[in-house]
């Protein structure tokens, strides 16, 4: 679908995508990525995210980045939190702390509209309670 859209010079648009939908978008060729992503894709950590961690979708990146919320996670490559130990021992990642940072940078490269960390935030386009009540009254009175 993305290749066809590119071939036809068509842009993908969505009114207000929810975090669930945003998570299902392939991250490595994401249409919401800002400039410089090609260079970023070729870093050692991003290659590790692709090959060792099996990162394909935005939700995969979010899962790794959420590790920063864990009290036991340390921002270094010797972190002993459960996620980093798993990455080191099972996925053979040499620098799990650096991969967490690289994953966060990858999400930071998404334009705000496509960043699942910002999904559901008030965009200022909703109606206030007073405006909703006014609309109900207008519908009921036929005007």
CA distances from 28 to 92, 99, 126 (A): 21, 15, 32
Q: Please check whether residue 19 is in contact with residue 116, taking contact to mean a CB–CB distance below 8 angstroms.
A: yes
Q: Please check whether residue 79 is in contact with residue 73, taking contact to mean a CB–CB distance below 8 angstroms.
A: yes
Q: Alpha-carbon distance 26 to 55, whole Å?
A: 9
- Mean pLDDT, residues 93-100 taken together: 96
Q: Alpha-carbon distance 106 to 96, whole Å?
A: 15
How many CB atoms neighbour CB 79 within 10 A? 21
End-to-end CA distance of the chain: 44
Give the model's pLDDT for residue 12: 60
pTM: 0.72
Predicted confidence band at 125 (pLDDT cuts at 50, 70, 90)? low
Q: Which residue has the higher pLDDT, 126 or 139?
A: 139
Q: Which residue has the higher pLDDT, 118 or 17?
A: 118
Q: Please check whether residue 85 is in contact with residue 67, taking contact to mean a CB–CB distance below 8 angstroms.
A: no
Instruction: Give me the DSSP letters along 42-54.
Output: TSHHHHHHHHTS-
Q: 3-37, pLDDT tens digit by residue?
A: 776 777 766 666 667 888 888 988 887 877 776 55
Which of 112, 86, 120, 113 shows the shortest CA–CA distance to 100? 86
Give the model's pLDDT for residue 38: 58
At residue 80's C-alpha, the angle toward residues 45 and 60, to 5°, is: 45
């Amino acid at each position: 679908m993305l290749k066809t859209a590119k071939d036809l010079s068509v842009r993908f648009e969505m009114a207000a995508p929810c975090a669930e939908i945003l998570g299902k978008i392939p991250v490595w060729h994401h249409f919401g990525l800002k400039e410089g992503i090609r260079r970023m894709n070729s870093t050692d950590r991003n290659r590790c995210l692709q090959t060792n961690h099996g990162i394909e979708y935005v939700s995969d990146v979010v899962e790794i980045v959420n590790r920063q919320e864990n009290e036991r996670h340390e921002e270094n490559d010797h972190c002993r939190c459960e996620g980093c130990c798993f990455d080191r021992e099972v996925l053979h990642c040499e620098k799990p702390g650096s991969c967490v940072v690289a994953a966060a940078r990858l999400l930071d490269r998404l334009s705000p509209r496509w960043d699942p960390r910002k999904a559901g935030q008030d965009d200022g386009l909703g109606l206030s309670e007073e405006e909703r009540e006014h609309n109900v009254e207008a519908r009921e009175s036929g005007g």
